[in-house]
Every structure is written in structure tokens, then in C-alpha cells.
Structure 1
Amino acid sequence: MATDAGADVRDESTVDVVIVDDEPLVRGGLRAIIDAQPDLRVVGEAADGVEVGELVRRLRPRVVLMDIRMPRIDGIEATRRVRAGDPALPKILVLTTFENDDNVLDALHAGAQGFLLKRASPEEILHAVRTIAAGDSLLFPAAIRALVTGRPTSSRRAPQLTERETEVLRLIATGLTNAEIAGTLFLGVETVKTHVRALLAKLDARDRTQAVIAAYETGLVRPG
């Protein structure tokens, strides 16, 4: 059953979070971690992917913590449904028990901005929530490499990137930030941002995570 609390009093400086997990203990633990922070608050919970759409429309949280494995509608389909609506709808962080779970890649394809292991520390959970709330992707290069390795190469044709865009994409795939890429290539940060925007458009990628997945699947970047 979906629950919500305090969503009618909205402070724009506070990140509103919805937790979706079929395990009450998991939801309770995440709520305790998040609600202890002055800049974060849990405004609703759901025990099933069926309930997510209505809860998101009503509460309009900035972040949804979404379990992958749930009855009736799993986190992948629930993510797809949420992301198919208003683009201003929340960032989605999927939760998984196993880092080699193939479903993680499917959830990222469906529109999730990142994933988090359920055994993550409270500090890692809070960092993840704040990262995607700020509009950044939660990119784990080694984990994404492991997920795409062994999967068939996509039939989608690789776009024509410039030499510089390819360099930037390969550095994104190693987990570097724009500032770190700028330092590595001796470029200005704004120049790097311009290259990132261009390669995202050419790859038809929503964010850096999507770009890295597309780069591996089309062969622009090779695992290892």
C-alpha cells in the first residue's frame, strides 16, 4: 500500500524522495537514513511498482529509490512508465541486491539515472540521492563494463563522433568528471561541456550513463 506524509508543505531546498520496495524493513531503513538529513525527506512509500505512477504524479518527488525485483510490476517496467511521462518527473535510482544483476542494465535502458546496492553504506546512499537529485548520473564505470561484457553487440550503428568527442567519451567511461576531463585534455571546462552535449545528442543519450552504455554496445568503447 502506498503511503505519504508531509508532501503538502514543500520546501524547494529540500529533496523529496519516494521509496519503492516490497520489503517493509528495507523501506524503513532507507527512510530512517534519509529523514535524518536536513536537506532530504521521504514523502512517500510504495510496496509495488503498480503504485508508483499515481504516487509520483501526486507527490512529484525529485528522487525515486526503486527496487528492481517486485511482484506484479517490477522496477524496470515501473521506471519505464514513469520516464514515459513528463520529463520533469523524478530521477530514478534503482536498488539491487547483486551488482552483476542483468536487470540493472535493463533499468538503465528504461531511464534510471543510476543504481545502488542494497548493502551500500548510509554515506553511499546519501551521496547517491544527492548526486542524482542535482541532475548528475551515478556512474560506476567498472560495474557498467561488467554488465555489458558478454552481451551481444547492438545492431544500432555507431554515430560519427569527432576525434575529440571520442576522447571525451572514453574518459567519461572511466568515470571522470568534466573538470577532470578538462585537466586531462588541457581544455576548458566549458569546452568539455560542449563536447559532452554534442556526443549525447549524437548517441541519442539522456545522460552520461546512457552514453557509456551506448558507447560499449555500439563498439565505440571496448570493455577493458
Structure 2
Amino acid sequence: MPQATAESRRPIRVALSNDYEIALLGLAQMLARYPSKVQIVDLTTLAAVPHRADIILYDTFGRLPDNDIKLRKIVESNSAKVVVYSWEEYPEEAARRHGAVGYLHKGLSADELVAAVVAIHEDREPTAAPHTEEPDLTWPGQPFGLTQRESEMLTFITRGLTNDEIVRRSYLSINTVKSYIRSAYRKIGVRTRPQAVAWGYRNGFQSTDDVGL
């Protein structure tokens, strides 16, 4: 019995997953402030998480919801509960269709995010409502003044997707996609798609994904 009690009191082991480790740094910093509740065991780009985890928090930066092979691979390759951490552009319905057991919005404060992770671990429904403010995260392109969504568009372009492919697979309208791309181009000082791809390769926008977009 004492062993069971110690097990129940230990922090929840959380692995953070994305194609870009830099996209996970801000999230890790948020969670690290709650060592009695959560323990970060991995920041990984791999489908199979290297260390034992209770929860895998899957950041959707640079991912498209329509056919997310990597999310399905993560669900299949691990015994931990897989929880998607995203904006509205990656809908909860898509996350659950790919096998995620939970869905958390990136507008959650650090307190709310940790409370939600604890609830999911305990098989309870999270009660925190999403905030409209973006949390203090880190993502590729941030030092260049790019928003997370603009950076995501550049990851898709660097991977070779056309605007129509992004539209079909992302639940976004063509006008929204073009708007993000235009503003991203202005910020990085390019005019054409080949220039944007070259910029992406020079600035670390190559995906580490080995299971397909």
C-alpha cells in the first residue's frame, strides 16, 4: 500500500512532442514551474517517445489536421495518453479522429494547462475555459517577428505544399492562407515562393518528421 500511495503522489510524467524542438521550449518552461504536479521527461521529435510517460502533449505547430500521419503514429507507438495542444485551426474533432484522448487550447494559462493535464491523467474532463491571449511560447521564426501561424505557413511552404493543398488539409480558407503568407513574406523580405523555401532552409524550417506530413 505505501508503494501505491507514493505512486499516486508523484508528478505526472509528461513528454512534449513536435517536429521542431524549439517549438516546445516555451511550453516546457511553462510546465517546469509546477514540479510537484508535472515532470517533463522528453522534448522529442520522434513518434516513439524515448522515456516512459503518462501524458504525451502533442503540439500541432507545423502540422495539418486532415491527415496527420504523425499523430496516428504517436498514438500507435506509445501506451501514454496522447493529448493535442493546438489552436482552432486544428479542430478537436480531427485530433480525436486520429486517436488523441484529449484536446487543449493554446490560449490556456499555465495554471489552466497544468490543471487540465492533471484532469486528463485522472480521467476527468478538464474544466478550464480557453483564454484569448497567446501564452509565452517559442517557435521557429519568432526572432524574425513572425507569429506562430505565419511561421506555420512557412513550414508548409518549405515542405513543398501549394496554397491549395494547405487549404484542403488545414480547415482554413484560401484568403486566410494567402493573408498569412503575404504577411510572412513581408517580414522575412522575400517576394516569391522559391525565395521563401530558400529562406526556410537557411533558418531551420526543415521538418524532422520521418512519417510524412
What range describes the TM-score normalised by the shorter chain of this pair? 0.3 to 0.5
- Greater relative contact order: 1 or 2 (C-alpha under 8 angstroms, separation 6 or more)? 2
